[in-house]
Amino acid sequence: MPNTGSRPHAVIVTGGASGIGLATTERLLASGWRVAAFDRDQTAIAKLRNMHGDKVRADVLDVTDEQAVEATVKSVATAFGRLDGVVNSAGIGIDIHVLDTSVSQFRNVLDINVTGTFIVGRT
C-alpha cells in the first residue's frame, strides 16, 4: 500500500522475528511501513534488531499476556502516532502424535495460536 499521508503507515507484526512473521516484517519495512515486530524469542528479536537497526521497533512480547499486549499496543500507537494494522503471525506447532500430546501441550498451542490472536486483535 503506498503512503498517501504525511507519515508512513504503521503496523504491528506478532511473531515478527521468525518464519512468516519475519518475512512479513521485512516486506513491510521494504515497502516503507513503520513496523513494530514482537516475538517471545529474545534471540530472534536481537537478530532482527541487528539486521534492521532503528528501522524497526523489535521487542519481546508474549501474546498470551493480556496486560503486556494492551500496554504494548498503546505504546506503539503513541510512538508511531497511528496504527494502521496488525498482522497476527505468532503461532506454534508441536511435532507430536495426537495420542502422545498432553493436555498442557495442547492448551499451550491454543493459548498462543488462538487466544493470543484474540487478545491482540481486540486490543
Three state DSSP letters for the chain: CCCCCCCCCEEEEECCCCHHHHHHHHHHHHCCCEEEEEECCHHHHHHHHHHHHHHEEEEECCCCCHHHHHHHHHHHHHHHCCCCEEEECCCCCCCCCHHHCCHHHHHHHHHHHHHHHHHHHHC
The torsion angles phi and psi of 122, rounded to 5 degrees, stand at -90, -10
The torsion angles phi and psi of 60, rounded to 5 degrees, stand at -75, 130
- Give Cβ neighbours of residue 30 (< 8 Å, ≥ 6 apart): none
Mean pLDDT, residues 95-115 taken together? 96
pLDDT at residue 117 is higher than 90 = yes
Question: Which residue is associated with the grid cell 513503520?
Answer: 34
pLDDT at residue 74 is higher than 90 = yes
Give the integer Cα–Cα distance in Å for 108 and 113. Answer: 8
Mean pLDDT (the chain, rounded): 94
The amino acid that residue 106 corresponds to is F
Sorting pLDDT into bands at 50, 70 and 90, what band is 123? Answer: confident
Sorting pLDDT into bands at 50, 70 and 90, what band is 5? Answer: low
> Mind listing the pLDDT tens digit for each residue in 28-45?
999 999 999 999 999 999
pLDDT given at position 99: 95
pLDDT given at position 6: 67
Reported pTM: 0.90
Mean pLDDT, residues 100-116 taken together? 97
